[in-house]
Amino acid sequence: MPRSKNTILITGAAGFIGAALVHKLLKNGEDIIGVDNLNSYYDPSLKESRLAYIENSRITYKGSWNFYAKSIEDDVSLKKIFELEKPNIVVNLAAQAGVRYSLDNPSAYVQSNLVGFANVLEECRRNEVENLIYASSSSVYGGNHNLPFQETQPVNHPVSFYAATKKANELMAHTYSHLYQFPSTALRFFTVYGPWGRPDMAPMLFTKAILAQRPIKVNNFGKMQRDFTFIDDIVEALYRCCYKPATPNLDFDPLNPDPATSSAPHRIFNIGNSKPTSLIRFIEVIEDALEMKAIKDFQPLPPGDVIATAADTQALEDWVGFSPATSIEEGIKSFVSWYRNYYQA
């Protein structure tokens, strides 16, 4: 008998993107299972506040909400959660984030992004999950300078260990889709920002420093471009992918393989704003929203970082009828409003 509603398991549910997706799906009436280990990569109080926001919004929800404070690296606990909750859709957003942190702490990325993701794949296989969506990253494009980035381009030259683990995730998921024929979709996020963002993200760091009248580090002397993508746009794309599982490319040519599709039910999509913005311009928009000027400390390009990113999102638009379009002026205005309220700044 078909389900009257979905049970969707979201890993990283207390994270920046995860909590926002939980909120949207609950409002849509889905039953949501959240998994997050609430680790101390950044202040856990922000994660707890996101969860509290979800709890406090229950009156607006049509679906049910259940949360487990567990790690995806814990295969025993993850197995029990799958067996008890029986999700038919899984969204894997749990990961050790951060390019620069991976330079000094590679083992954290091995455990979460490789071991943890392998556990998720295995439970999806064992429980015959109908649809897996998982977070990849624009960082997989690495040393590629051919802008805008397209999913059909090769991603064989990552320049950070974080990027290498995300590339590995795409290979791992494809293998499971090929062997066990369950649909999996990779979403390559491009520089996500907005309310409830992580403290290590540029908008948070810049806003905090500007308000305190402290210098901000401007990497590569400001000669950088990023495809800044607003959180609501990211969530909308994720939301739509939940209801459209990957399918095989019936025209897949093994003699001329398309890296973004497969003869297996596996797809890869960019999620970006398709309007790359210079770092200097991004800072100017924050200054305008705060009505304060930044003290700029110009720095060289850090190891593992890239000079520019830009997303071609046509494939995503063709697939789910949506592509991000929130301007940085609108997005930063929303972010700064939230920041002032949350931090009483």
* Residue located via tokens 């990023």: 226
pTM over 0.85: yes
d(CA 40, CA 63): 29
* Residue located via tokens 């970006």: 272
Strand duo 7-11 + 229-230: pairing: unpaired
Provide the H-helix boundaries in the chain: 16-27, 44-56, 75-85, 101-104, 106-109, 117-126, 161-180, 202-211, 231-242, 279-290, 314-320, 328-342
Q: What angle do CA 11, 12, 15 make, to 5 degrees?
A: 155
DSSP state at residue 217:
E
Sign of CA dihedral 47, 52, 53, 55: positive
Instruction: Quick: pLDDT tens for 226-259.
Output: 999 999 999 999 999 999 999 999 999 999 999 9
CB atoms within 10 A of CB 153: 15
Question: What 3-state class would DSSP assign to 133?
Answer: strand
Strand duo 277-278 + 215-218: pairing: unpaired
Instruction: Please give the pLDDT value at position 169.
Output: 98
Single out the catalytic residue among 61, 141, 162, 176.
Answer: 162
Longest Cα separation, the chain: 62
Q: What angle do CA 48, 54, 58 make, to 5 degrees?
A: 145
CATH topology assigned to domain 7-189+230-272+311-325:
Rossmann fold (3.40.50)
Query: Which ranges of the chain have pLDDT less than 70?
Result: 1-4
Sign of CA dihedral 192, 195, 201, 204: positive
- Long-range contacts (CB closer than 8 Å, 24 or more residues apart) made by 236-240: 236/24, 236/322, 236/324, 237/187, 237/269, 237/271, 237/316, 237/320, 237/322, 237/323, 237/324, 238/17, 238/21, 238/91, 238/133, 238/187, 239/21, 239/24, 239/25, 239/28, 240/320, 240/321, 240/322
d(CA 54, CA 83): 24
Instruction: Please give the pLDDT value at position 1.
Output: 40
Residues 6+ apart with CB under 8 A from 249: 258, 261, 262, 263
Instruction: Please give the pLDDT value at position 3.
Output: 58
Sign of CA dihedral 133, 157, 205, 232: negative
d(CA 141, CA 143): 6
Which residues does residue 216 pair with via DSSP β-bridges, in sequence order?
A: 296
Using only C-alpha atoms, the chain has a radius of gyration, in whole angstroms, of: 19
Instruction: Please give the pLDDT value at position 4.
Output: 63
Instruction: Please give the pLDDT value at position 73.
Output: 97
Give yes or no: 180 in active site. no
d(CA 203, CA 193): 7
Is 111 within 8 Å of 125 (Cβ atoms)?
A: no
